[in-house]
Amino acid sequence: MDESEFLNKIREAVVKGDIDGAREIAGEAIKAGVPALKLVNAMSSGMVEVGKLLESRVYFVAEVLVSAEAMSQALEVLKPYLSVEGTKKYRGRVVLGTVEGDIHDIGKSIVATLLQTAGFEVVDLGVDVPAERFIEKIREAKPDILGLSSLLTTSLPEIKKIVEKLKEEGLRDKVKVIVGGAAVTREFADEAGVDAYCLDAVEGVEICKKYVGG
């Protein structure tokens, strides 16, 4: 197999969610002298494809999780051969979290994976994150973008609370705020005074890219 065949195969393994396959191809490709960096980029392009399949409802969250697992296991094989710097263009920093009162992590984790793949440094605060914690992290990490996720309608008021707190602390114009998740609607986002509403993870990544200049 030549280099381009390895790259196609590993990309395909990620798209298909072939966990064992992705790991094996990564090992074989390294032995054959394919640069680890090229393999990572091929897998990233596979994840972009997975995002598109999710968007068009050919894939569902279950398939995305399996693809993400395939990529993450292959990355374990490649790690020793990678110099982390320079794997991809650094785009900027995003602080992400699911708001307080909501413990759903899947949607947010998909966004985190896709953002990392696209070259963002992601600070994932996890789920059930109090407004104060977001503020504290924004001061500390100085991100370009703050991403808030809410799957429960009951935790929607948290988003407004965070926006208010950002204003109070004089941080609102220092960071772009994007929101997403099943409970959030475009109307709610407008009302809450955030910068953008993301229908899904793919749109979220596109919006982030736009904010940091493409």
Partner 1 sequence: MSSEADEWMSPRKRFLSAVLGGRVDRPAAGSATSVATVEQMEQTGCFFPEAHYIPGKMAELASAAYEIIGFDCIMPYFSVWLEAAALGCRVNWGDKYRMPDGVSREGLGITDPSQFRVPEDFLYKPTTSALLEAIEILRRRYPNVAIVGKTMGPWTLCLHILGVKRTLIWSKIRKELLKEWIKLLKEVSIEFAKAQVKAGADAICWPDHATGDLVSAETYREFLLEVHREAVRRVGAPLILHICGDTVDRLPYIRETGFDCFHFDSKCGDPLKVRVIAGDRISLMGNINNPKTLLYGKPEDVMREAEHALEAGVNIVGPECAIPTRVTNENLKAIVKAAKQFRNKLSR
Taking Cα atoms as reference points, which of 13, 128, 129, 126 lies closest to residue 72?
A: 13
Strands, E assignment, 87-155 = 92-98, 120-124, 145-149
If binding is defined by CB under 8 A, does position 66 make contact with partner 1? yes
Judged by CB, which is closer to partner 1: 56, or 83? 56
Judged by CB, which is closer to partner 1: 3, or 63? 63
Residue 131 C-beta-side C-alpha neighbours within 13 Å? 15
Q: How far apart are CA 204 and CA 67, in angstroms?
A: 19
If binding is defined by CB under 8 A, does position 153 make contact with partner 1? yes
Site for partner 1 in 117-136 (CB under 8 A): none
Instruction: Extract the tokens encoding 118.
Output: 């696209």
If binding is defined by CB under 8 A, does position 187 make contact with partner 1? yes
Judged by CB, which is closer to partner 1: 37, or 152? 152
Judged by CB, which is closer to partner 1: 32, or 103? 103
Judged by CB, which is closer to partner 1: 35, or 157? 157
CB within 8 A of 66, min separation 6: which ones?
Answer: 17, 19
Determine which residue in the list 37, 130, 161, 188 makes contact with partner 1, applying CB under 8 A. 188
Determine which residue in the list 3, 28, 55, 63 makes contact with partner 1, applying CB under 8 A. 63
Strands, E assignment, 52-175 = 92-98, 120-124, 145-149
- Residues in the site for partner 1, rule: CB under 8 A? 17, 19, 57, 60-63, 65-66, 69, 101, 103, 105-106, 152-157, 182-183, 185, 187-188
